[in-house]
Amino acid sequence: MTSMQTYIVCATMRSGSSLLCNLLQKTRCAGEPREFLRDYLRGDIQISDSEYIEFVEQKMLGSASSNGVSGVKLMWWNIDLLLKRLRNAASPSEALTERELLGQVFPNTKFIFITRRNKLAQAISLCRAERTKTWTKNRNEIKDFSLPRITNFHIDRNLKLIESWESAWQEFFRKNSIDVYTVVYEDLISDYRTNLSGVLKFLGILEQIDKIPVPDLEKQADFYSYILVTQYRLYLALIGILPSSFICWLRDFKLKIKRVIPSG
């Protein structure tokens, strides 16, 4: 296991991590970086803490490419749970740092962080995915034209969540003195060849790639996404102009209407 080179794609929801992982997998030299630890971390699939290290090692070995490179995608709450399970599995006499705990299952590991410059668009994308249960779109799939109702409250909530997840990742990198390679979603979309080449160079495997692959996934944002962006910006503008007393009255009025008119 120590001869293997591993990497972690550190992500937040709707940051473009599926696109990046799809491209990495298609190179056939970067393993299969999927979020395969999620169910085992949450306890949906039962496995004891004492068996956990061997289990993760086997998963990483099984998803490695022929050059010994293996990757995994982790959201913030995934790595938090992972560290807890690894600490429970460690000997009580071992005072291991977070970096050392991860090193038990991810040897010679490198960290890739994918972020999105437009956090509002990311929050809206998360709202739509939550409502439609559609998280990715392949190029050959028929476009889904469903327009779920999304309120400014939902967008607000997801914006705050995304910002808190990103802050948690940045604190993790800082606390553990991690030299992280950052990928920006908007740059990846506009020039995936150059940006993927940068990731492969960081991993030390660029020279092993015959050619940069074409992604299977494509951008999901459409005209409705831009309508929601405009709606939210107008909402912020009104909040800044209207008196707070009127905003409170409007919210109370909306709640009264909801009680009188049943949904559905």
- Please say if the pLDDT value at position 150 is more than 90: no
pTM (2 d.p.): 0.82
Mean pLDDT, residues 141-169 taken together: 84
Would you state the pLDDT for residue 39? 65
pLDDT (0 to 100) of residue 229: 80
Q: Rounded to the nearest 10 degrees, how much is the dihedral formed by the CA atoms of 62, 39, 45, 104?
A: 50
Q: Judge whether residue 256 has pLDDT over 70.
A: no
**Average pLDDT of 138-166?**
80
The first and second tokens of residue 140, run together, are: 């050959």
Listed ranges 70-74, 134-138, 208-212, 220-224; the one with the highest mean pLDDT? 70-74
pLDDT mean across residues, the chain:
84
pLDDT, greater one: 87 or 178? 178
pLDDT of residue 53: 83
Residues 6+ apart with CB under 8 A from 251: none
The Cα–Cα gap between 92 and 82 comes to: 17
- Crossing angle between the packed helical segments 192-203 and 17-26, to the nearest 10 degrees: 70
> DSSP letters of 34-87?
B-TTHHHHHTSS---HHHHHHHHHHHHHHT--TTSEEEEEEEHHHHHHHHHHHH
Residue of 13, 14, 21, 19 whose CA lies nearest to 191: 19
Q: Give the confidence band of 42 by pLDDT, cuts at 50, 70, 90.
A: low
pLDDT band at 264 (very low <50, low <70, confident <90, very high): very low
* Phi, psi (deg, nearest 5) at residue 15: -95, -5
* Architecture of the 5-118+162-219 domain: 3-Layer(aba) Sandwich (3.40)
pLDDT in tens, 196-255: 999 999 999 999 998 888 887 666 667 778 888 888 888 777 766 756 665 565 566 555
Q: Three-class SS of residue 237?
A: helix
What pLDDT score does 148 carry? 77
- The predicted pLDDT at position 151 comes to 84
pLDDT category of residue 130 using cuts at 50, 70 and 90: confident
Of 74 and 93, the one with more pLDDT: 74
Out of 135-139, 170-174, 178-182, pick the least confident: 135-139
Instruction: Quote the pLDDT of residue 40.
Output: 64
What are the structure tokens assigned to 247, written together?
């905003």
Read out DSSP for 112-156? EEEE-S-HHHHHHHHHHHHHH-----BTTSPPP-------HHHHH
Sign of the Cα pseudo-torsion (239, 245, 250, 251, in order) = positive
